[in-house]
Amino acid sequence: MNRGEQALPQPTTPVPGDEPPGGFVRVEHRAPSEPYWHFSIYLPADAVSAEVGTSLPDFGQTESLARFQVPDVPLDIEVLGHWLEYEIDPADWLDGELEDLGHRVVSRMRTPTNNGVAGDVVAEWDHEDETYAGRFMAAKWGPRLFVVATRTRASSYAAHATSCFIAAASLRPLVSWPNRFAEGVTLVEMSQPFDWSVAIPSSWDVVEHDPTEDGSWFDAAHQAPCLPDEQAGERDGRLSMAVMTRACATSPRDAANVYIRALRDNDVILDTPRLDDLDVSERFLQGWRITTAVSRHGAGGELTCVVLLHEHAWVVAGVLGPTRDDDRDAWMRNRRALDVVIETLELDLSL
């Protein structure tokens, strides 16, 4: 445990259950008027409502839904809503927002969920010659991203860290969403070396290629909307995915090179990348990930590639796009899209 974590503890257990722990009450908040933004949360029993949000989050916008206070501490607990335009991970969104606010991250935890990777950050910041600390959690249900922000003086945080955690971890929307993604998805169905399919966010344009006996693949792309047409392809996202027979490669490096050779044929410059081990589900024998810097036509970028070994096939999926520093929004979309196609991959093994 580092010095910062000792100064600002980040408890993670016990996770709040169906009933609030002692000293807490379950609060159902039903404002503003749109039920999709109604939520429940566990609050300290002496918390009072300090502010009720009146504006609904619009596409790409963040609004305060409610703010509560524990007067004698003081501890401030705020719930915010953000309407996502595209499918991204809440953890990536939260990191960017805290960075823009100038908050100093003390500890961070990313938790994979069915709706994307949830974010959990303890941070501190200075305001009017005093240091404050807080815990921030972000999770999403469909396009609704909820953030619980707890804030207090840094000198008081250790005494209230558990309250911050219970409040942040207990939030749940009162109304479900029809699907788990922030946008619609396109189903891509391929036929070689056996039937397989994936889902990809519908903001990506998909091109399917003619299959061969050894396998089949598709490409997908999105263009950053703020860029002129002449720059399209330089700072957006380009994803490719292939399923090939085991005979097509003798190693994960060989499988990855099928994709990498295609990139080099299209003027992408990259050094020989390192393959890192990747935890995979039980349906795959092994997995590897590549993350490396690239350049194309003088513009820098980032490549992420996943290689999966199945009993009957190799699976290779990669996404090419800008770095986080160059275009954070595109980077978030690219990162999440790669995870979505891997998560939704269905293989028909009735060989």
On the question of a common fold for 3-173 and 185-347, the answer reads yes
**DSSP per-residue codes, 157-185:** HHHHHHHHHHHHHH-EESS--SSSSSS-E
Give the model's pLDDT for residue 230: 45
Residue 351's pLDDT band (cuts 50, 70, 90): low
Intra-chain end-to-end CA distance of the chain, in Å: 51
For 40-96, how does the pLDDT look when each residue is reduced to its tens digit (9 = 90+)?
A: 999 999 999 988 887 889 888 999 999 999 988 889 999 999 999 999 999 999 999
In the CATH scheme, what is the code of domain 185-347? 3.40.1000.10
Average pLDDT over residues 158-170: 92
pLDDT in tens, 271-296: 889 999 999 999 999 999 999 999 98
Domain boundaries, the chain: 3-173, 185-347
Which backbone phi and psi does 241 adopt, to 5 degrees? Answer: -145, 135
Asked whether residue 350 carries a pLDDT value surpassing 80, the answer given is no
The candidate with the shortest Cα–Cα distance to 93, out of 78, 83, 106, 79, is 83
pLDDT tens sequence across 197-218: 999 999 999 999 999 999 999 9
Residues facing residue 319 across a β-bridge: 239, 304
Is the pLDDT assigned to residue 226 strictly greater than 70?
no
Cα separation, 172 vs 179, in Å, equals 16
d(CA 289, CA 297): 25
Looking at residue 31, its pLDDT comes to 83
Could you please report the per-residue DSSP string of 136-163?
A: EEEEEETTEEEEEEEEEEHHHHHHHHHH
Is pTM beyond 0.75? Reply is: yes
DSSP states of 9-68 as a string? -----SPP-SSPPTTEEEEEE--SS-GGG-EEEEEETT-EEEEE--SPPPBT-EEEEEEE
- State residue 2's pLDDT score: 39
Which tens digit of pLDDT belongs to each residue from 93-147?
A: 999 999 999 999 999 999 999 999 999 999 999 999 999 999 999 999 999 999 9
Instruction: Give residue-wise pLDDT tens across range 315-344.
Output: 999 999 999 999 999 999 999 999 999 999
Is the model's pLDDT at 4 over the cut of 70? Answer: no
- The answer to whether residue 228 scores a pLDDT higher than 50 is no
Report pLDDT for 112: 93
Cβ-contact 86, 142 below 8 angstroms: no
| Class in CATH terms, 3-173 | alpha beta
Alpha carbon distance 116, 40 (integer Å): 21
